[in-house]
Structure 1
Amino acid sequence: MCRVTNHSSPQGDLVLPCLNEAEALPWVLDRVPEGWRAVVVDNGSTDGSARIAERLGAHVVFEPRRGFGAACHAGLLAATAELVAFCDCDATLDPGELPRVAAPVARGEADLVLARRRPTDRGAWPLHARVGNQALSRLVRRRTGLRLRDLGPMRVARREPLLALDLTDRRSGYPLQMVVGAVDAGWRVVETEVPYRPRVGASKVTGTWRGTWHAVHDMREVLK
């Protein structure tokens, strides 16, 4: 069960975009560290994900507009803590890593920390997803000068500066728009590393070439 209840004053809010993640939610929410509040953003689930999240102590937000960015931004708007983290809700990433990932931001040494993925086995990160990510990383370097090895689906920043970026993408380009906006605003962006596990349940994006292509297309639009 989540270690942070809805009436707490958390150190940070963890935004978890959620679309049919009933299988993964118990493990994910059990791993949320002390001092962090889980904000599960239900993006139209039909498998009871929202009920499960509420039962396990998460703060649940409903975002009817489909899109990864729409869910992320709804979570950001619902956040109240000074620090806001984003993390996939499919059990590929361990929320227990958050204290370490957030530490540079909490200490004032960085403005945005991106946690690049280190696959724990060969099937955790499919080839087509890695190829797409590498291509985007090169485009980001060309556009911003920032050398990234990954776009970091687990990331941490401060809430007020994030809101000030005025992010507008509501599809798969949202994470990339955040990075580009941060660099343009003069933020200190740093990378760390976290284990990346095989997902629980069916993938909406990286599990297929088509899903990866759509995500890459959305992100390339951000860089135009």
Structure 2
Amino acid sequence: MALLEDHLAKFHKMTDAKEMWDAIKSKFGGNDESKKMHKYILKQQFEGFSVSNSEGLHKGYDRFQCLLSQLEIHGVGVSTKDANQKFLRSLSSAWSQVSLIMRTKPGVDSLSIDDLYNNLRVFENDVKGSTASSSSMQNVAFISENTSSTNDLDEFDLEEIDLKWQVAMISMRMKKFYKKTGRKLQFDAKEPVGFDKTKVECYNCQKTGHFARDCRTKEIKK
């Protein structure tokens, strides 16, 4: 109750009294030099952040959220884009292929970290069920950021990942729509739902209007 309202907003993500008290002591305790050092340590923790295979998506997300809150409290806020890209890059090797593709998806940099996490959960069963060989994982390390270089990855079907991402994004929009309007969208299962291919981008040639399986680029080259 003694805190000014300007400071209260910075502690709203704290989950319990101990975490809040530790954050308050960290924010207001110590001299300028110790605060400066703490900021430096937090920045280093952010740069070196990573999620191990044993830790998993959920625990890694909780730890990352805590780190973002600490950075914000100390006046070292991280942009949504930087936070999302960092979290995707920090995921364990089991997430390599999903992470590689998600980092280039339109709209990913504008998602809140909560929405990004919820969308990633769509792929959790696929990741847990994957049994990548060491050689295939080594190949991933040499893949370019350009999604056109992911055509030879066979652990996941790239088109399936793309469709799951689109479904997750639509599901998120539907939930927000219901929250704002109180109206649930109803679909008639008997009526076919049209799919607009003009918004689809091919992984082979990066042109819109068709899927990679329908691409004729490779046929032309042959």
Bin for the TM-score computed over the shorter chain: under 0.3
Which has the larger Rg?
A: 2
Whichever structure has more helix as a proportion of its residues is 2
Q: Which has the higher contact order (CA 8 A, sep 6+)?
A: 1
Query: Which protein is richer in strand relative to its size?
Result: 1
With normalisation by structure 2, the TM-score equals 0.26
